[in-house]
Structure 1
Amino acid sequence: LKSNEATSFDFLFCLTGVDWPAHMEVVYHLKSTQHQHQLVLKAKINSRENPEVATVCHIWRTAELHEREAYELFGIKFLNHPDLRRLLLPDDWEGWPMRKDYDDPINMIAY
């Protein structure tokens, strides 16, 4: 997608995780600064217990912090990421706060 002259998606401007009841998902928002078109790409992850997907840091450098945030909030592991550690939360934080199964006794939301 990035190196193809017809598409030239050279900019990853957003990456996020989604927690569905039966699976997890990573959503990539790509843009071509040359052609001025955009693409939303979704990767379904069937394992909720151990969600993993390959990193795209070697393709789009902007993915590095986006992937760290998705790991921190959803627990999605990005395989071969150069620095997959927490970004904002303390190192001793337990759980994945954006997942529907996260136990938060203060802000209880039923799904």
Structure 2
Amino acid sequence: MSFEEIKLLLIEKFGEGVVVGEETTGLQPALLVAPDQITNVCLELRNNPKTYFDFLSSITGVDYGVEAGRFGVVYHLASIPYKTQLTLKISTENDRSLDNLPTFPSITPVYRTADWHEREAYDLFGIFFENHPDLRRILLPDDWDGFPLRKDYKAAEYYKGIKVD
């Protein structure tokens, strides 16, 4: 299926509000999906015999910058039998407070590999995934302060008495 056909399939299944935009420039086009629909969209794209996106290649967190006050998640899906790829993006506004993390639904019920990818986005960007089965740090120590890939992150000088460069 073409990018346009996939977009129309999702709109037909979930209504006009499911696709909030699209990016057609660059190496791979992306559908901008309503964040609250991401789990349903992934489930449909995986189970529909016309698309069969059976492989989650990666999930990446995005910090759009302090001025934008926006965080997002990028999903790279692949259909091994159809030899096609699709990029999905979701985003939300956020005040950047460590007491109010940007929050999105987890897609671990659809793709088991999302478990590790979502943990990495949580660990490095502070993106919280609702209903994740085990959302905790994966790369940094449990007591690490902050999220190092945020644009406003300030590294501590010392961690447990050891100088941090």
- State the TM-score, normalizing by the size of structure 1: 0.91
Corresponding residue number in structure 2 for 1:14: 58
Cα deviation for residue 20 of structure 1 reads: 0.4
* Identity across the alignment (%): 53
| Distance in 1, Cα, partners of 2:54 & 2:93 | 28
Q: Which residue of 2 aligns with 1:85?
A: 136
- In structure 1, what is the equivalent of residue 92 of structure 2? 45
The whole-number CA distance in structure 1 between the counterparts of 2:87 and 2:107 is 15
Greater RCO, CA 8 A, separation 6+: 1
Question: The residue matched to 2:46 in structure 1 has which SS?
Answer: coil
How well do the aligned residues superpose, as a CA RMSD in angstroms?
1.4
CA distance in 2, matches of 1:78, 1:39: 21
Task: List per-residue Cα deviations over 1:14-59 (Å, max 9, x = no partner).
Answer: 1010110210110000000111100010001212442000000000
1:56-110 residue CA offsets vs partner (Å, 9 max, x unmatched) = 0000111000000000000000000000001121111000000001012679xxx
User: Per the alignment, in what secondary structure is the counterpart of residue 119 of structure 2?
Assistant: helix
Unaligned runs of 5+ in 2: 1-44, 158-163
Runs of 4+ in 1 over 6 A off after TM superposition: none
Q: Which of 146, 153, 163 lines up with 1:95 in the alignment?
A: 146
Q: Work out the number of aligned pairs and report it.
A: 107
- The one-letter amino acid of 2:53's match is F
> Aligned partner of 2:152: which letter?
D
> Per residue, is there more helix in 1 or in 2?
2
What does residue range 62-77 of structure 1 map to in structure 2 within 5 Å?
Answer: 62-77=113-128
Taking the aligned partners of 2:156 and 2:139, their CA distance within structure 1 comes to 21
